[in-house]
Chains A and B, each alone.
Chain A
C-alpha cells in the first residue's frame, strides 16, 4: 500500500476550497461575538478612548448618548462548550434511515474504543404489525425432517450464537430472560436450524428461530400480516393484543437463512415492539448472529494483531505508522529495493 500512501500524500484541497474554509463563519443563529470583534481593528482604539472618557466622540453609528445601539450588538456571550462526547452521537453504520422509514426510540450503547469514549445511538425501525389478528387463526403441526437430529444448546453456545454477551445484553436486551434452546443438523452434519427460547414469566417469553434455506416452521399462523421492507429485508409482521398480554411476531429471510421472532409480553406493547425492533436491527445491520458456531463454517478471519499501530500522528506529514501487512515480513526502509 506504499503506492496508495504516496499518492494520497500528494492529495490536497484546492486553493479555492482552502480559502472558503478560512472564511467560514459560525452560523448566524448562534453568533454571539463580542462587540470588539465586530468592529475589528477599531476595537482597541475604541476601548482606549472609552477608557479615556471620550466615548461621545465615537457616537457615529451608536445611540444618542454614545452608548451602543441594537445594531452594535454589545452583548458578549459565549457559545456553550459541550464535551465532544455529548454531541458525538451519530447513527451507527448500517442504521441509516431510508426515505420514508419510520423509527421508534432507539437505544444507546456506551463504550470505550481505543481510548475514545463513544456513545453509539442505534436507530430502531418502526414495524407495521397490521391490524389485530385472530389468535391461532391456523394451528399447524410440524416436526423435524426425518434425517435430522436435535440436541440442546448450552447457555454458552446460545450466547455465542447470538453474537456474544454484548449482543445479548446491550443490543438484544435479553439479559433478563432465561435463555434455552436447541439446534438440529441433518445426518450429513449440515445445519437445519436452531430454536431459542427466552422466558421470564408465563406471559413474558419469546421464541427465536433461525433455519437454513427456509422460513422457520411455526405452529401458529395469524389471520393477517403486513409485509414491508426494512433495511433491505422483506419483513412480515403480525400481532395479537389480548387481555393477558401482547404478541408481536416478525419473520424474514437473510443470506439464505430464515428468521422468526415471536414475542409475548405483558405490559405496554411498545416495550415488546422495541425488543422485536432490536432483534431485527441486530440481524439486519452489522454482526447479527454468529451462525458459524452452529453451521460448522469457518469463522470470520480475525484482524491482524500486529497491524494495530500507535494512534496516528495528529499533524499531517508526521512520522508514518508502521504497517504489518498480513503474511509479509517487515523490511526496514533502508533495505527495501526500488522504493
Chain B
C-alpha cells in the first residue's frame, strides 16, 4: 500500500537523481521535471515492491528514462547552443564539458551520465535503458572519442 509518507521519502531521496538523469537525456528543464513527475505518478499507480535500495533506485531511473524516450519523439530537439543557455555553468571548464556532452546525441548522453555520473556498469545501463549491452558499449565508445579531452582531467 502506498503511504503518503513513503512518497515523500522517495521524493526527497530521488527527485534530484531522477531530474539530473532526465535533464542529461532531454536537455530540457521543463521536460525533465515533467518526466520526474510522471515517474512518481507511475510509482503511485504501480505500487511496486523493491528488494533493496539499489533496486528501488534502478526502478525509478528506468521509468524516468522510458518517460524521456517517449518525450524525445515529440519535444523540439534543441541545438547544443540553445541547451547551453539553459545550463548556467560556474566555470569555463564546466561550460566546456557541458557543451561537449550536450553535443552528443541523447542516447550517448544518457550512457555518459549513467556511467560517469551515476557510476553504473554497462550491464546495468543496458538494464536501465532497455538496450543491449553491446549497444551501450558502442554509445560509450563513441562518446568517449568525442569527450576525450574531458576524460583526461
Interface of A is mostly: loop
Residues of B near A301 (CB, < 8 A) are 137, 141
Residues of B near A310 (CB, < 8 A) are 119
Residue among A1, A25, A81 making CB contact with B116, cutoff 8 Å = A1
What 0/1 pattern do residues 42 to 72 of B give for CB contact below 8 A with A? 0011111110011111110010001001000
Residues of A near B123 (CB, < 8 A) are 113-114, 308
Q: How many residues of A contact B (CB 8 A)?
A: 67
Q: Is the CB of B130 within 8 A of A79?
A: no
Q: Is the CB of B20 within 8 A of A11?
A: yes
Is A311 part of the binding interface, using a Cβ–Cβ cutoff of 8 Å?
A: yes
Residues of B near A3 (CB, < 8 A) are 91, 93-94, 96-98, 150, 153
Q: How far is the CA of A21 from the CA of B58 in the complex (A)?
A: 19
Q: Measured between C-beta atoms, what is the minimum distance from A158 to chain B in Å?
A: 18
Q: How far is the CA of A150 from the CA of B8 in the complex (A)?
A: 66
Do A92 and B132 contact each other (CB < 8 Å), given the known contacts A27-B44, A87-B46, A300-B141?
A: yes
Q: Measured between C-beta atoms, what is the minimum distance from A240 to chain B in Å?
A: 34
Q: Is the CB of A24 within 8 A of B7?
A: yes
Q: How far is the CA of A286 from the CA of B132 in the complex (A)?
A: 7
Q: Is the CB of A7 within 8 A of B94?
A: yes
Is A41 part of the binding interface, using a Cβ–Cβ cutoff of 8 Å?
A: no
Q: How many residues of B contact A (CB 8 A)?
A: 79
Is B75 part of the binding interface, using a Cβ–Cβ cutoff of 8 Å?
A: no
What 0/1 pattern do residues 75 to 100 of B give for CB contact below 8 A with A? 00000000000010111011011100
The residue on B at minimum CB distance from A301 is B141
Do A327 and B62 contact each other (CB < 8 Å), given the known contacts A1-B116, A24-B40?
A: no
Q: Is the CB of A116 within 8 A of B116?
A: no
A window 1-44: CB within 8 A of B: 1-8, 10-14, 17-18, 20-22, 24-27, 30
Q: Measured between C-beta atoms, what is the minimum distance from B50 to chain A in Å?
A: 6
Q: How far is the CA of A90 from the CA of B69 in the complex (A)?
A: 11
What 0/1 pattern do residues 294 to 313 of A give for CB contact below 8 A with B? 00000011110001111110
Q: Measured between C-beta atoms, what is the minimum distance from A137 to chain B in Å?
A: 39
Q: Is the CB of A81 within 8 A of B153?
A: no
Is A93 part of the binding interface, using a Cβ–Cβ cutoff of 8 Å?
A: yes
Q: Is the CB of B134 within 8 A of A287?
A: yes
Residue among A7, A11, A25, A286 making CB contact with B16, cutoff 8 Å = A11
Is B146 part of the binding interface, using a Cβ–Cβ cutoff of 8 Å?
A: no
Residues of A near B150 (CB, < 8 A) are 1, 3-4
Residue among A17, A93, A118 making CB contact with B33, cutoff 8 Å = A17
Q: Is the CB of A18 within 8 A of B7?
A: no
Do A82 and B49 contact each other (CB < 8 Å), given the known contacts A12-B19, A94-B131?
A: yes
B window 99-136: CB within 8 A of A: 101, 107, 112-113, 115-124, 126-127, 129-135
Q: Is the CB of A303 within 8 A of B152?
A: no
Residues of A near B59 (CB, < 8 A) are 84, 88
Residues of A near B90 (CB, < 8 A) are 7, 10
Q: How far is the CA of A84 from the CA of B147 in the complex (A)?
A: 35
What 0/1 pattern do residues 88 to 125 of A give for CB contact below 8 A with B? 10111110100000000000000001111010100000
Q: Measured between C-beta atoms, what is the minimum distance from A49 to chain B in Å?
A: 24
Is A314 part of the binding interface, using a Cβ–Cβ cutoff of 8 Å?
A: yes
Residues of A near B113 (CB, < 8 A) are 8
Is A315 part of the binding interface, using a Cβ–Cβ cutoff of 8 Å?
A: yes
Is A145 part of the binding interface, using a Cβ–Cβ cutoff of 8 Å?
A: no
Q: How far is the CA of A120 from the CA of B128 in the complex (A)?
A: 11
Please list the 6 inter-chain residue pairs (A to B) with the smallest Cβ-Cβ separation, ordered nearest first: A321-B119, A314-B53, A113-B127, A114-B124, A93-B131, A84-B48
Supply 4 further A-B pairs (C-beta < 8 A) apart from A6-B94, A286-B135, A316-B17. Answer: A14-B33, A93-B131, A96-B69, A116-B124
Q: What are 29 A-B contacts defined by CB distance under 8 Å? A: A1-B153, A3-B153, A5-B116, A7-B97, A10-B90, A13-B15, A13-B16, A14-B33, A22-B11, A24-B44, A27-B41, A79-B2, A82-B47, A84-B49, A90-B62, A93-B129, A94-B131, A96-B69, A113-B127, A114-B120, A114-B127, A115-B124, A116-B55, A286-B131, A303-B137, A303-B140, A308-B123, A314-B57, A321-B118
